[in-house]
């Protein structure tokens, strides 16, 4: 099995996949994730899509059609670990508000899919793909009763087809991927983890990604810019890791002073017994 090295997907999200000519790559990625036919129609330009002064924003908001009928908004972003879930919640709330701010009536607001890719594993044990969604309002006293979070497509016709409008979340952890092939999305997981495309990949959008994101096709100046981006990304992850270790060490030190056994501290903090004994 041969591999083609390609530009990392976070870099592609930030700089390359906003071009309409590359929508097929994003459509393929989302189709394999949802196991439905997704066709990206447009990039939704907003303040949330713009780079901050530190250049660390890796986010793109998309308008897409699902199964040739439902229209939805996809928010794809790479996240660092600091305030991760607060940022996820803020991002999806802002995306919803921006739909209304753009002039849409409230009943025209589309469902938002929040797709978050993190190279921090949140103490996951085995899984690399997580999904979170609310199916509706469930009875407190009669839990078998459920009112779904759905709205009629045509507000003037309550009998028209209904669609789910509550946000849905995906959390993708590439470093947890065991590289076992279980279907099309796992081929994309390989791309996210390795920045490479296997020669036997057949998932939607993969072939187009291997052609359009080929690292070897970059000009020298593009290659230098990409390498600088990777170096900056590594610095960010290193700083986050260092901060986390300092916090763990401080917690472990306080627990040790309180007389907690080293074995229990190690289990709680993830630090080794030697690290704790040396505090």
Q: 127-183: per-residue pLDDT in tens?
A: 999 999 998 999 999 999 999 998 877 666 767 778 888 999 999 999 999 998 888
Q: Which residue has the higher pLDDT, 95 or 129?
A: 129
pTM across the whole model: 0.79
Q: What is the pLDDT of residue 31?
A: 97
Q: Which residue has the higher pLDDT, 6 or 152?
A: 6
pLDDT level of residue 52 (50, 70, 90 thresholds)? very low
Tokens of 25: 């790559």
Look at strands 58-66 and 146-148 and give their pairing: unpaired
Contact 52, 210 (CB under 8 A): no
Report helix, strand or coil for 206. Answer: helix
- Range with the poorest average pLDDT among 196-200, 236-240, 274-278: 236-240
Q: What is the pLDDT of residue 47?
A: 46
pLDDT level of residue 50 (50, 70, 90 thresholds)? low
Partner residues linked to 214 by β-bridges: 6
Q: What's the alpha-carbon Rg for the chain, to the nearest Å?
A: 22
Kindly report the number of other CB atoms within 10 A of residue 210's CB atom: 20
Q: What is the pLDDT of residue 104?
A: 66
């Amino acid at each position: 099995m041969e591999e083609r090295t390609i530009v990392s997907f976070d870099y592609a999200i930030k700089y390359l996949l906003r071009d309409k000519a590359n929508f097929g790559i994003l459509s393929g990625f989302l189709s394999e994730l949802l196991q439905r036919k997704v066709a990206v129609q447009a990039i939704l330009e907003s303040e949330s899509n713009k780079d901050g002064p530190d250049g660390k924003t890796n986010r793109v908001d998309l308008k897409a059609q699902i199964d040739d009928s439902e229209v939805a908004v996809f928010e794809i972003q790479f996240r660092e670990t600091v305030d991760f879930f607060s940022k996820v919640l803020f991002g999806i709330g802002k995306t919803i508000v921006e739909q209304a701010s753009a002039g849409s009536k409230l009943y025209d607001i589309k469902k938002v899919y929040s797709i978050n890719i993190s190279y921090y594993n949140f103490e996951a044990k085995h899984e690399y793909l997580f999904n979170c969604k609310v199916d509706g309002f469930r009875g407190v006293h009669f839990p078998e009763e459920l009112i779904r979070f759905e709205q009629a497509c045509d507000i003037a016709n309550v009998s028209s087809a209904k669609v789910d409008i509550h946000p849905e979340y995906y959390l993708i952890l590439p470093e947890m991927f065991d590289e076992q092939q279980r279907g099309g999305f796992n081929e994309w997981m390989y791309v996210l983890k390795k920045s490479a495309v296997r020669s036997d990949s057949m998932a939607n959008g993969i072939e187009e990604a291997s052609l359009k994101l080929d690292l070897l096709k970059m000009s020298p100046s593009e290659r230098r810019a990409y390498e600088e981006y990777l170096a900056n990304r590594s610095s960010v992850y290193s700083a986050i890791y260092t901060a986390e270790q300092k916090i763990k060490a401080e917690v472990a030190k306080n627990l040790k002073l309180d007389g907690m056994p080293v074995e229990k501290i190690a289990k709680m903090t993830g630090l080794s017994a030697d690290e704790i004994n040396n505090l």
